Amino acid sequence: MTDHETITVSEAMTASVRTIEATATVKDAIQMMREHALSSLAIERRDEHDEYGLLVISDVAREVIAKNRAAERVNVYEIMSKPVLTLPVDMKIKYAVRLLVRFDLSRALVVDSGRQPVGIVTLRDMVLCYGDD
């Protein structure tokens, strides 16, 4: 077994995950992304039985800018992805990569054992971590 076999999602993820309410405007989301230099935001659950959503820069580009919609008049829930793939913090990256590739996704929300978001991991993050010796 190589060292690559033991790398977990927690080692590759970006630990700072920002959340926003689904009813916030896309303009608010863009401002938060700009302030924190982020390309995605987790969308808060309404309650413990709800699922998380995810808003990515490409969602804003495709659904707001390309369609000439006003960012201050579009709510996040209108363009977000939900539900999103969530990965446990202790999952090995080889399995996480397989999941993302299988579903043609570039990123996933990382959650702890209580299903609270603790980070976001991208294929890029995991490939670069895997190649780190």
Q: Report percent pLDDT > 90 for the chain.
A: 87
Helix axes 123-130, 93-102, angle to 10 degrees: 140
Range of the domain at 93: 3-130
- Give the DSSP letter of residue 67: T
Q: How confident is the model at residue 133 (pLDDT cuts 50, 70, 90)?
A: low
Q: In sequence order, what E strands does 1-132 have?
A: 19-20, 40-43, 53-56, 86-88, 107-111, 117-122
3 band by pLDDT with thresholds 50, 70 and 90: low
| Per-residue pLDDT, 63 | 98
Q: How many domains does the chain have?
A: 1
For 79-106, write each residue's pLDDT tens digit.
999 999 999 999 999 999 999 999 999 9
- Write out pLDDT tens, residues 26-78: 999 999 999 999 999 999 999 989 999 999 999 999 999 999 999 999 999 99
Give me the CATH number covering residue 112.
3.10.580.10
Distance CA 109, CA 84 (A): 7
What's the confidence (pLDDT) of residue 1?
Answer: 41
4-38 pLDDT tens trace = 678 999 999 999 899 999 999 999 999 999 999 99
pLDDT at 6: 85
d(CA 38, CA 34): 7
